[in-house]
Structures are given as structure tokens and as C-alpha cells.
Amino acid sequence: MLKFGDTIRLSELDVELLRAATGFEPVEIGSVAELIEFVRLAKEHYPGETADCRRRRRSIDGAMKRLTEGESNSN
């Protein structure tokens, strides 16, 4: 993920990571706020406490962590 101030650009690998984690295509994400909203909505799609829902939410959290870990180094 490339970050320029409040603007971000997801690489093809970032898009694939989010798609695999959420089950949704991450389109039109151009800011950190939009990424956070995408993740929030994706997690809401998997409510409940079934093993599958918990696993999917952990996967989404892990993808977000991988995307934002290097955030401070990309400015």
C-alpha cells in the first residue's frame, strides 16, 4: 500500500489480500478512512459466533494489520 498523506493506493497484492480475507472486491478505496470503512462493513457481513465467522473476522483483522504495519515507513 502506498500512502501519500490521507490518500492511499492499494497494490495488486493488497487487493488480493483483502479479497481473500473479506470475500469482497475492494474497489474505489482511495483513503485510509475508506479502507477502514470497507473493513468494518466486511466484518459486519460475518456476524455471530460460529467458527467460520470468527475465522473470517480474524482473517480480515490480519489483512488489515499486514496492510498497515509498514504504514509509518511509506510516507
Is 11 contained in some domain? yes
> Residue 23 gets which letter from DSSP?
S
Between residues 25 and 73, which one has the greater pLDDT?
25
- Count of domains in the chain? 1
CB atoms within 10 A of CB 71: 12
Residue span of the structural domain in which 15 resides:
2-70
What was the pLDDT predicted at 71?
A: 60
Is 8 contained in some domain? yes
Q: Quick one: 65 exposed, middle or buried, by C-beta within 10 A (0-12, 13-18, 19+)?
A: exposed
Is 75 contained in some domain? no
What is the tens place of the pLDDT at every residue in 29-52? 999 999 999 999 999 999 999 999
CB atoms within 10 A of CB 46: 17
